[in-house]
Amino acid sequence: MSKTTPIVHKTRTQIVVEVLREKILSGEIAAGQPLRQSALADELNVSRIPVREALLQLEAEGLVKFEAHKGATATLLSTEQVTELFDLRALIESDLLAKSIPNLSEEDIHQAENILQEMDTAYQDEEQVENWSSLNSQFHTCLYSAANRPHTLEVVQGLNTNCDRYIRLQLFLASGVPKAQQDHRELLEYCKNKDIEKAVELLRAHILHAADEIRVLVKQQDD
């Protein structure tokens, strides 16, 4: 019994995470709206413990903010922030990729291929679809790691953390994943062929296209 309880508890927390994430990303829970743990527990028919754990996970995803004397609220989504974050990504990641491609090994390419396969599986499986965003970051990081620029990679990972809620918004509310996966496959081919110019051009377009789509979604939530 003691072995199964944590699994059941984790599953309950994960269900709460998924429900609240979808409500926030869809706009059903408005930006700035207080998230009262007791009310959410009653609404979802669970105790306050999984609600608390779910809110902490959503805080890590950038969807929830904890403030002194106010508790948890849904964070604001901003088109200006989308522009700044994705412009920075396009600038820094393009340079990182250009420096990484000459050093990419067959093992790096093979690892990136495996991640792409996992992404396909995650997108087709409703129970795993939330993992797509994390796998997306892993795929890009895999292609950049051979640049041997650990501090720059750390900056990119920080940007990805801040972009995660916007990528999840795109994932749940738009059909951009098939296009993104097509881009990823083409990008991997360019990396295999050591075609730095085409790879960098595609990466910039890939990041900025995502930003365009996400800005539209954020504006729709504001309307």
The pLDDT value recorded for residue 11 is 73
Output the six-digit token pair for 68. 């002194």
Annotation: CATH topology of 79-222: Four Helix Bundle (Hemerythrin (Met), subunit A) (1.20.120)
Output the six-digit token pair for 67. 């403030």
What is the per-residue burial (b if ≥16 Cβ within 10 Å, else e) of 63-76? Answer: bbbeeeeeebbbbe
The pLDDT value recorded for residue 4 is 41
| pLDDT tens sequence for the chain (223 residues) | 444 444 444 578 989 998 998 888 777 888 888 999 999 999 999 999 999 999 998 998 788 999 887 889 998 888 999 999 999 999 999 999 999 999 999 999 999 999 999 998 888 876 677 688 889 999 999 999 999 999 999 999 889 878 888 888 888 776 767 888 999 999 999 999 999 999 999 999 999 999 999 999 888 877 6
The single residue listed with the structure tokens 């292609």 is: 143
Which residues on neighbouring strands pair with residue 93, listed in sequence order?
A: none
| Extents of the domains making up the chain | 5-74, 79-222
This prediction's pTM: 0.76
The pLDDT value recorded for residue 5 is 40
Give, in order, the Cα–Cα distances in Å from 107 to each of 67, 127, 192.
Answer: 45, 29, 11
Task: Report the distance separating Cα 181 and Cα 119, nearest Å.
Answer: 8
So what CATH class is 5-74? mainly alpha
Give, in order, the Cα–Cα distances in Å from 188 to each of 89, 177, 200.
Answer: 18, 16, 11
